[in-house]
Copies of this chain bind each other. A is one copy, B any other.
Amino acid sequence: MTKTNPRPFRRAHGGETLSGDADIALPDIGQRLRELRTMHGLSQRELAKRAGVTNGTISLIEQNRISPSIGSLKKVLDGFPLSIADFLTLDLKPRNKVFYAAKELREIGAGAISFRLVGRDTQGRAIQMMHERYQPGADTGQDMLSHTGEESGIVVSGLIELTVGGETRTLTAGDAYYFDSRLPHRWRNTGTIDCVIVSACTPPSF
């Protein structure tokens, strides 16, 4: 028990430079990285192996003990399909509503053709609909992180377990989702029958 050193070893250079006297606020790199990594269910060593750095580097970055170079931050983020710019601007804790109960959807049509709006109005969201079917036990894996913007969908039949940004829900017919597709997400059909979903994502351009 002779090793009760209080704490600070490396001069916490980043402490004042990064969080302190800045014109444009720089997000908390360490916390962001840790959230992103744990969202993916990766250990520091696993990420380090992917990224081609050591686990110690990951640890120090996550503690904000060092201000990583652009090069090494890029290597770390190559462990995910995420650019530095996206990493710095991504809202890891989605403020926008993610899950919607069936009765929360706004019905905009009736009769032969019927739309039920997910989220408040269209609100300038240019999205493109799709139709998906999941067989029992189907699983997309948890590494599906794509750049393309936004994703939304409605469960038509069956049930689906959806994980978005660390939060998991099981949705059944009539339930819906809406989230920034840069957040890590995963679908699993934990039911016994097919699950049908009508989904949408932002179109390739704009």
Partner of A68, one of B70, B75, B77, B124: B70
- For the complex, is A22 an interface residue (Cβ under 8 Å from B)? yes
Are the C-beta atoms of B88 and A124 separated by less than 8 Å?
no
For window 1-38 of A, CB contacts with B under 8 Å fall at 13-14, 17-18, 22-24, 26, 29
The interface-forming segment of A78-86, A112-120, A136-144 is A78-86
Q: Within 8 Å CB of A29, what residues of B?
A: 70
Partner of A78, one of B23, B68, B70, B75: B23
- For the complex, is A74 an interface residue (Cβ under 8 Å from B)? yes
A70/B71 contact (C-beta < 8 A), A84-B85, A85-B85, A88-B83 known: no
Are the C-beta atoms of B17 and A78 separated by less than 8 Å?
no
Are the C-beta atoms of A88 and B84 separated by less than 8 Å?
yes
Q: Within 8 Å CB of A192, what residues of B?
A: none
- For the complex, is A67 an interface residue (Cβ under 8 Å from B)? yes
Partner of A26, one of B22, B84, B123, B126: B84
- For the complex, is A73 an interface residue (Cβ under 8 Å from B)? yes
Distance in angstroms between the alpha carbons of A86 and B77 in the assembled complex: 17
Are the C-beta atoms of A71 and B124 separated by less than 8 Å?
no
| Distance to closest chain B CB from A30 (angstroms) | 11
**12 A–B contact pairs at CB < 8 A?**
A17-B71, A22-B74, A22-B78, A23-B78, A24-B74, A26-B70, A26-B84, A67-B72, A68-B69, A70-B70, A84-B88, A85-B85
**Closest 4 pairs (CB-CB, A-B):** A67-B71, A85-B85, A85-B88, A67-B69
